[in-house]
Amino acid sequence: MRDFSEDKILAYLNGCNDNELFKLADKLCRAEFLDQVYLRAIVEFSNFCNKKCKYCGLRALNSEITRYRLDDQTIIAAASLAALNGAGTIVLQSGDDFSYSTERIGEIVRNIKRQHDVAVTLSVGDRGIDEYEYWFRCGADRCLIKLETTDPDIYQDIRCGESFAERLRLVKGVKEIGYEVGAGIITGLPGYTPESLLQDILFLTSLELDMIAAGPFIPHPETPFSSSPSGDTNMAYRVTALLRLLNQSANIPATSALDSLIDDGRKIGLTRGCNVIMPSVTPTANRADYNIYPGKNAVSLDGDNGVVEAKDMIRSLNLVPSASKGFSNKKVST
């Protein structure tokens, strides 16, 4: 499936035949994963962030947000509940918050792995490669390091001076350590074009990732992009479907941002090439404060028990919520 021409991809991005594209992506996805959908339960353990990304509500300069940090026991309890409810993967996610030491995060990983037969994914931002090495030794299985865009100039602009080359070094570095690696982009960022999305798709594909995410941009009122329009959900579906065509065995989530823009956004994603759902299992008292964009973690999205609700959603599509860790098929087949 890697032989799609750039012209063909661009034509799909321009909406030449959504029906055909989505059907093709669904067919490939089902050929690869049969009726299984993987569950990754996210514990958003801190919304403090030292970065100033222009698109994100957690940016350090947003003083309108109620900041929280979960203590270790609360993080582990949330992870345990998710594991007992059938999540095969626990994602530990936060802003770039250096108040959690390397050892402390390592101990949380060890604790979860000791108690439950789950995979642990870290989504904790720009920490040192030595820290990622340490956490790998503690039992962490995967890293999520989003690129947001694969254009170095746009990256530097929207992440307020950060270096794309450094971020890419981190993606490659954690891969070398032995982690499964996920990356991804936001579709419909201010100034995007179908051509820039084509480049994003080709670049992400060239990285041979285990997981690839693409969610639509949603303007947050307390950011410099507050008056930019939301990303088009159809464009986000086209990008995920095309990523499926070019990366048959990759894990591709139906992102929560889809649900913030349209009803059943994630559910529809599962019929268009996506094979992963990532419900929030952050304690309900804090969940709405993990406000990356409006509508993110509206409590109604995942209810009191995100994993159980996600399983119901999967079953309503006649698909099967998988209790497996959902390692990438790429690894199994090589």
Residues that bind ligand SF4 in the complex, under the rule CB under 6 A: 49, 51, 53, 56, 58-59, 95-96, 125
CA distances, 59 to each of 21, 218, 229 (Å): 36, 15, 19
Per partner kind, with CB cut-offs from 5 to 8 A, the member of ligand 5AD, ligand SF4, none near residue 186 is ligand 5AD
Among 21, 197, 257, 278, binds ligand 5AD (CB under 6 A): 257
Q: Minimal distance in Å, beta carbon 103 to ligand SF4?
A: 22
How far is CA 127 from its chain centroid?
A: 18
The H-assigned helical ranges of the chain are 6-13, 18-33, 72-84, 102-115, 129-138, 152-158, 164-177, 194-206, 233-246, 256-261, 265-269, 284-287, 299-302, 306-315, 329-333
Among 23, 51, 52, 146, binds ligand 5AD (CB under 6 A): 146
How far is CA 73 from its chain centroid?
A: 24
Two structure tokens written together for 162 = 């950060």
Q: Minimal distance in Å, beta carbon 58 to ligand SF4?
A: 4
Among 171, 235, 292, 301, binds ligand 5AD (CB under 6 A): 292
**Residue 39 per-residue DSSP state:** E
The answer to whether residue 200 forms part of the interface with ligand 5AD (CB under 6 A) is no
End-to-end CA distance of the chain: 18
Nearer to ligand SF4, 4 or 48 (CB): 48
For residue 290, what are the contacts with CB-CB under 8 A and spacing of at least 6? 44, 47, 58, 280, 282, 296, 297
The answer to whether residue 42 forms part of the interface with ligand 5AD (CB under 6 A) is no
Q: Which residue has the tokens 């100034």?
A: 191
Q: Minimal distance in Å, beta carbon 292 to ligand 5AD?
A: 4
Q: Minimal distance in Å, beta carbon 79 to ligand SF4?
A: 20
Among 21, 22, 87, 148, binds ligand 5AD (CB under 6 A): 148
Q: Minimal distance in Å, beta carbon 26 to ligand SF4?
A: 30
Q: Which residues bind ligand 5AD (CB under 6 A)?
A: 55-56, 146, 148, 186, 215, 217-218, 220, 257, 292-293
